[in-house]
Homo-oligomer: A and B are copies of this chain.
Amino acid sequence: MTEALESRKTKATDWFRSLRDQICATFEQIETELPSGLPHADLPATTFERKAWQRPDESDSQGGGGVMSVMRNGRVFEKVGVNISEVHGTFSEQFRTEIPGAKESDGKFWAGGISLVAHMRSPKVPAIHMNTRMIVTSKNWFGGGTDLNPMVEIPQDTADFHAALKATCDAHSCANYPRYKEWCDEYFYIKHRNQARGVGGIFFDYLDSGDWDGDFAFVQDVGKCFLDIYPALVRRHLGEPWTDADRAWQLEKRGLYAEFNLVYDRGTRFGLMTGGNPDAVLMSLPPLATWP
């Protein structure tokens, strides 16, 4: 079983790395596709910069690290971070009570994953978040999700995004689209503003159907679905002009996005409270935001 588990960790991290490469290549391609005459079309097309990071103590409680790929100040992408990580260690006494199987593993855990947030130049192009991960304690499971953040909702985009995710879930017996959609709506809700962060998507956690290969195939398809639908939505709106008022509203929506991530997002708060690399943990924050 240990050997099988090691092989699964390797398969998962290989996939996360491969997905990262495909996403980065696709986004760099999109950077070259901005029609002339649009704002920022005179900027050079930008590429990702990669930077490896390590957790403080390889041997012990906070081992492992990751690679952050960032594209900044692009013509299409104002700021995108794609982080892959493979970390291991020991949860604190307090935290292990909150994580399935962590008491039984004496707090020992392993986690591998990919996470991505894209903030776009154009207020007409939606921002997005996507994340998938594999966690191992005495149990092991997958989690993840993706949610779309348009500045002004475009019903066709919302419908197409949800339809793509529904088709992905429906193709896998381990996945439950209605539950994952509802979970996403619940999770990405800015309670103090009494409003949703975006137009939803899917969110899932603790996925362990008993068929690891089937679960992993679903997680891979979530990544492939993202790689299919999000670039399509970007390309759909890439060439649209926008006004200063559109931009002002985009910056205000980004303020709400920052509020959600700093006040509520479990990954962000966990990362900050446990001494994670703040630049990696906070890569999700918008490049520019307003609270007018």
Asked if A278 and B193 sit within 8 Å, CB to CB, the answer is: yes
Asked if B281 and A291 sit within 8 Å, CB to CB, the answer is: no
Q: How many copies does the complex hold?
A: 2
Is there a chain B Cβ closer than 8 Å to A207's Cβ? no
- Given A192-B273, A251-B288, 9 further pairs, Cβ under 8 A: A79-B291, A255-B285, A258-B291, A259-B282, A262-B262, A263-B269, A286-B291, A287-B292, A288-B289
Task: Report B-chain residues with C-beta under 8 Å of the C-beta of A79.
Answer: 291-292
Chain A facing B: main interface SS: helix
Identify A258's interface contact among B193, B262, B292, CB under 8 A. Answer: B262
In this complex, which of A251, A273, A291 has the most chain B Cβ atoms within 10 angstroms of its Cβ? A291
Task: Report B-chain residues with C-beta under 8 Å of the C-beta of A273.
Answer: 192
Is there a chain B Cβ closer than 8 Å to A272's Cβ? yes
Task: Report B-chain residues with C-beta under 8 Å of the C-beta of A259.
Answer: 262, 282
Q: With the chains together, A259 CA to B281 CA distance in Å?
A: 12
Task: Report B-chain residues with C-beta under 8 Å of the C-beta of A281.
Answer: 192
